[in-house]
Amino acid sequence: MSEGEMTGTEHAGQTGQLSVVTTATDGIRVLTLAGEIDHHTGDTLRQSLDASGTPRPRVVADLHQVTFMDSSGINVFLAAHRALSEAGGWLRLAAPAPAVLRTLQIVGLDEIIDCHPTLQDALNG
**Confidence check: pLDDT of 14 > 70:** no
pLDDT tens for 41-70 read: 999 999 999 998 899 999 999 999 999 999
- What mean pLDDT comes out for the span 2-20? 53
> In sequence order, which residues have a C-beta less than 8 Å from that of residue 5 and are 6 or more positions away?
25, 26
Q: Is residue 115 predicted with pLDDT exceeding 60?
A: yes
Condensed to tens digits (0 to 9), the pLDDT of residues 63-93 reads 999 999 999 999 999 999 999 999 999 999 9
Contact 104, 75 (CB under 8 A): no
